[in-house]
Amino acid sequence: MILPRAASGAYPTKAFLAKEMPDVLREAFGTSDIGESEQIEIEAPHIASDANIVPVRIKSGLANTESIALVVAGNKSPFTAYFKLYESQSFVSTRIRMSDTSDLLVVVKADGVLYANSRPIRVGRNSCGA
Amino acid sequence: MAGSIKIRAYEFDGEVTVKSIISHPMETGPRKIKKTGKKIPSHFIREVIVSRNRKIVMEAFWGKSISRNPFLSFQIPGRKGDTITISWLDNRGNSDSATAKVR
């Protein structure tokens, strides 16, 4: 059985603690200058009916996708999730919280290069404290 | 925390689709209990590790912006009969692990 190591040191603590938008990218990826790519497909509702459960599906059309990161610009801690992929994988889906209407930014690392794409998601009532 | 993970995994055309739900409060921190005004301390999953046939295929790092009872779905190469193991670790040191066979 493989368990997560409690102190693996791999957890990007600084990225999760960063509060403002360009800082988050700098802490997480070392740069805030990331090129856009339409090959990152983001499937998410235009208007989230429940801000606490916003389903997102990410499909990366980029060859050799190594990691997928989700960043919600409007949240108090914008860095949401970071998926490291070790095989030929290109799809990840989960459910996220959004405290306000904002952009969902998806950063994909493929062949060592960072690419980003974003989608605005509108949020109704029931916002949360994330 | 045993029994907190549900996994479904099925193969089609050499690709395994895994869907899973973890029962976890994913408490963000600042929330208060209305009656008493007591703050609920944060309690969320930090790390999820997925392995296929005992080899790690995905590592996920999560923050507080992941919904309660997290849903996680992904696709990996594989075939019927492979074993998929998902394990998680939260910020309080709790953990759980579950294994399912690919159908």
- What are B20-72's pLDDT values in tens digits? 999 999 998 878 888 888 888 999 999 999 999 999 999 999 999 999 999 99
Per-residue pLDDT tens over the stretch A38-52: 999 999 999 998 889
- pLDDT of the residue at B35: 85
The answer to whether residues B70 and B21 touch, using CB atoms and an 8 Å cutoff, is yes
Give pTM, 2 decimals.
0.92
The answer to whether residues B90 and B40 touch, using CB atoms and an 8 Å cutoff, is no
Per-residue pLDDT tens over the stretch A65-118: 999 999 999 999 999 999 999 999 999 999 999 988 999 999 999 999 999 999
- CATH fold, domain B5-28+39-101, is Immunoglobulin-like (2.60.40)
Q: Would you kindly state where each structural domain of chain A is located, as residue ranges?
A: 2-123
Cβ distance of B63 and A79 shorter than 8 Å:
yes
**pLDDT at residue A58 is higher than 90:** yes
Q: Measured between alpha carbons, how far apart are the two ends of chain A, in Å?
A: 32
A7 pLDDT band, cuts 50/70/90, is very low
Give this complex's ipTM: 0.93
Nearest to A25 by CA among A73, A93, A94, A76: A73
CA-based nearest residue in chain A for residue B59: A84
Residues of chain A found within 8 Å of residue B77, distances taken between Cβ atoms: 87-89
Alpha carbons B77 and B88: distance in angstroms, whole number: 22
- pLDDT of the residue at B100: 96
The lowest-confidence range among B3-7, B33-37, B82-86 is B33-37
Cβ distance of B49 and A3 shorter than 8 Å:
yes
**pLDDT at residue B81 is higher than 60:** yes
- pLDDT of the residue at A102: 93
Q: Would you kindly state where each structural domain of chain B is located, as residue ranges?
A: 5-28+39-101
Of A2, A52, A57, nearest to B68 by CB-CB distance is A52
Alpha carbons A84 and B62: distance in angstroms, whole number: 11
Alpha carbons B26 and B42: distance in angstroms, whole number: 8
3-class secondary structure, A26 = helix
- pLDDT of the residue at B2: 81
CATH fit for domain A2-123, picks 3.40.50.1100, 3.90.79.10, 2.60.40.2470, 1.10.10.10:
2.60.40.2470
Cβ distance of A81 and B89 shorter than 8 Å:
no
Alpha carbons A54 and A49: distance in angstroms, whole number: 8
Cβ distance of B71 and A90 shorter than 8 Å:
no
Q: In B15-51, which positions are buried (b, 16+ CB within 10 angstroms) versus exposed (e)? A: ebbbebbbebebbbbeeeeeeeeeeeebbbbbbbbbb
